[in-house]
Amino acid sequence: MSEVTDKKLIEELNALSKKETSPIPQDSEAVTDENLIKELEEIKTGSTFTGKFKKAVGATKEFFSGTKRTEFPDLPEIGAMNAPTVGSMLKITAGTLINPNQKAQAQIIQAQIPGTEIFKDRFDNLIVSMPDGKSFYLNKPGASLQDFTQTTSQILQYLPGYSQAVKFAGKSLLKRGIGAAAAGGATSVAQDIATMPLGSKEFDVSRAVISTVVPGVFEVAVAPIASYGYKKIFGNPTFTKTVTVKEGGKALTKQEALLYDEHRRIPSQIRKTSMTRFRLLEGRKADTSSMDDIRKIIAIAKQERK
């Protein structure tokens, strides 16, 4: 290899090297405007509206895809696995639907398919490696059909016990709380016991505690508050308008309909006298389509009755 000694060529090569490696032109000036620096920093950190919107979109996309929490995005989920026999497949499916504990699910798979090994990726997601060399995520990060079916299964398992406990407790808030807590804890324990014959060795104490505490707290504290709020909003005619129809096609609220009904039930003679007094007091003829006039006529009619 010969050495380059031409000074002009060396200068050209050095200039070219600097041009390619330096992203900032040599004759550029540093940004010193504090407002501009602040704006650039906000764009960089996502503090602007556009930045926040992009972050929200990215977070939503990540929730469903889970790619940032998955080391092997192309690896399929356990639902795509083909078990050696129909029987083992049915037992694995039943076990994963009944018991939400992933360690218990892995044990069931190992029991039904001997030689199966369990690993973790760098995000601590469990990977099931089959004897034939194929691997699957036990529950891949992100939303999937498996998440939907398992969540639905859990809800259906907890509903019967909860419903019976609340029905048995009646209107007593304390009894409802105790019943809901007992039903939740009992369901969790029953799940662990039911999957042991399938190969699970887990007894999830933490899940049993959570399943006991959460329904009890919900029934004693959250449900009454939610019920009170519901009644205040949907039981208030100001917010919920029961619509009827008046002559001429005008829509009335429940309160307006009651006032019109009360006005109609005023005896004809008293109504006529009340209309006359209204005209004398107000200096004009009453407008029976006006709620204010209707109220005044009703008030005058009540005085006439006295």
What is the CB neighbour count within 10 angstroms for residue 206? 9
Integer-rounded Cα radius of gyration of the chain: 37
Q: How far is CA 114 from CA 83, 86, 117, 118, 128, in A?
A: 11, 15, 9, 12, 12
Q: Are 199 and 110 in contact (CB under 8 A)?
A: yes
Burial-class residue 47 by CB neighbours within 10 Å (0-12, 13-18, 19+).
Answer: middle
Angle value at C-alpha 150, between 144 and 156, nearest 5 degrees? 140
Write the pLDDT tens digit of every residue in 150-190.
999 999 999 998 888 888 888 788 888 899 999 999 999 99
What's residue 211's pLDDT? Answer: 92
Tokens of 95: 């076990």
- 26/3 Cα distance (integer angstroms): 29
Report which of 253, 250, 180 is spatially closest to residue 214, judged by C-alpha positions: 180
With 0-12 CB in 10 A as exposed, 13-18 as middle and 19+ as buried, what is 131? exposed
Q: Which is it for strands 251-252 and 244-245: parallel, antiparallel or unpaired?
A: antiparallel
* Angle (CA) 264 265 267, round 5°: 105
Say if CB 70 and CB 123 are below 8 A apart: yes
Q: How many whole angstroms from its chain centre is CA 277?
A: 60
- Are residues 130 and 81 in contact, defined by beta-carbon separation less than 8 angstroms? yes
Q: What is the pLDDT of residue 183?
A: 92
pLDDT, residue 185, reads 94
pLDDT of residue 247: 47
Are the C-beta atoms of 176 and 220 separated by less than 8 Å?
yes
Tokens, residue 6: 């031409």
Residue 34 CA to residue 146 CA, distance in Å, equals 51
Question: Which residues fall within 8 angstroms of residue 220, CB to CB, at 6 or more apart?
Answer: 173, 174, 176, 177
pLDDT in single tens digits along all 306 residues of the chain: 556 566 666 676 666 555 544 455 555 566 667 777 676 676 666 666 666 666 665 656 555 556 677 888 889 998 888 888 999 999 999 999 999 999 999 999 999 999 999 999 988 999 999 999 899 999 888 888 888 999 999 999 999 988 888 888 887 888 888 999 999 999 999 999 999 999 999 999 999 999 999 988 888 887 777 766 766 666 555 555 554 555 455 666 777 778 778 888 888 888 888 888 888 888 888 887 788 888 888 888 888 776
> Which pLDDT does position 40 carry in this prediction?
67
Give the residue from 151, 136, 154 showing the smallest Cα distance to 76.
136
